[in-house]
Structure 1
């Protein structure tokens, strides 16, 4: 019964014909797309037939890929499964239940057939990158996995950006296309942050820098379905996008400055009204907060667009601190009252709160700042902060709520337009 140990969908694939599923949205895909259904697990095994030469290559390469530098650092389920075992072993019975391997084994008795699994085990014993356990039930990497930042840096140096491709293109087709020109380790479809639709561009991971040079040398002759391809090193592409984001942020400087000027003017008007003892203080303060929020939101939109272009995860977890005012809190609490109570706690990027609200959130530049605040003033600290004469309840935004927050932010950054607002 594997119901409590379901593998996540994989984003990469080494060769055509045994590809991981497309990158999932934040919500996990249905059970049937990740692992065998209970009915399938209990099904009668098919008739055993030894793996033929083609199946051996595909099964071995696919399972080696699962444990590779290209996949394992990004495969949360498999990485956690590896880390859960003191020696880094994973059950072979689990691996053959993954959809791509399972499909390859159907014609040879399927993953339910003990002889088929034994045939796979014998095959894996010939691997130079994997080690089979003494009991022939489990496998692990032959070498220890290096730190992810080190692996990512190395992969970036042997990866190429390529576009454009039709939205209907598959990893199968793209791998076949590029494999005709050089050795391909994996292909990654780039997707919009919210809709997960294919952007029409990819990152191709090759064997080494020489492979990149070989592919880039063919840039003038490469076409895909009649369209000339744009090729460049992945690191050059990322640097180019970073420069474009900086230039776009600079172009927004006038709007930000105008919003800040309006905020200052509104604050000055509010101060003058208080000195004269007349006017609507609350209205003036709310006007000031609204213009301050506009300036902050301009920056937030740029951040969201940057997140949408990141090649890895769609957002950085743990940056958002939630807060709730205590019952009986004095009226008129402003965002400055809340941020002021936190003191010098870290760089605040955006505060989502206006006078009259009872809850809000603050987005920080560094997740470590949020952690320190929770440790010092969270529910279990015994040292809650006070705002408006009452304790302030603090928590970290997590899970689906956090994903929805970033999704909405990305949509606003693009003006609410379709696929990820881009």
Structure 2
């Protein structure tokens, strides 16, 4: 049997990779390897198995090989490399197994410590390698490990964020204060805790999306509407003066409303029916009094005590494309409909992380709540019904809607936000904010 000779570059890669596999950085989150170690009588793992892991196969040029098919000479070469080069790993007497030189710590004792010295960096291009990220951050301080999490909706590509662990919490804190440019893009740096919170929201949205698609595939019509696009908000005054202006049912005339909606593009095919119906219903609210609305917007755009739809749009479009803003000047609450669920999740996450507990809009804080479950379903059902009603009564609608009651949307999941709460519709449960 001819012994395999590993060149210097391969030796470096092999040592770094195997030491990482058995490190405190990896073991707490690597369930498979941790269980394999715990199930072993001596706490050691087959070196052939380690060599069959994807990154090790790449370093060793093994191709798609299983553990039992890893050549013996390759195992011997790796074992000899670890014996002579590593201070944190040990090799069994027969040269076929590898393990830590120190005891395995309990995961719960390690994870919190690791997270405190890990930061999230974005944007990271899809074709970026671990080595590129490590080399970049090593210019500033010692990097312990780098992770490139996969996209929640497509595990074939990275999500655009790198998790970089440093040797100390102090190093991680210092990095967060720097302005760094990676591959021509300025990096957004934040603690790993913030990344984890957003990741949880993304995974929840993806799970909901998959459930919706499954329902459609199984022929279920009950849940056939887009999910996760809507965020409810309530305006909270940041000044005592505004607090004194809150009055129940105090709304401004229609001439003071400002309609704002992004230019419409076709929605994803899976949601085409619900979206087209909603857009047609909302389009009726945009057709008349354009010049009056523009005048109203210009009149109040610099008034910090008057919130316009354009003010809301400027805040929320930072998180993604705003499809529609359901809000009338003078009201205390409303709803934002995004084009993608990810945008609504980003907005909610950003609001939660602020000291005020919401997003600042002029002299107000917009407190956000998700719209889910029955409330979300009723929202879309109401829009479909609204579109159908308009179609059946074509020619009988004035600007104020049928019988001069302007069709809008109150959202506690209930349709018919009328100007006159005694017009037969359900009462609006929110108060309204005086606009002047």
**TM-score > 0.5, shorter chain as reference:** no
Give the shorter-chain TM-score range: 0.3 to 0.5
Structure number with bigger Rg? 2
When the two structures are superposed, what TM-score results if normalisation uses the length of structure 1? 0.43
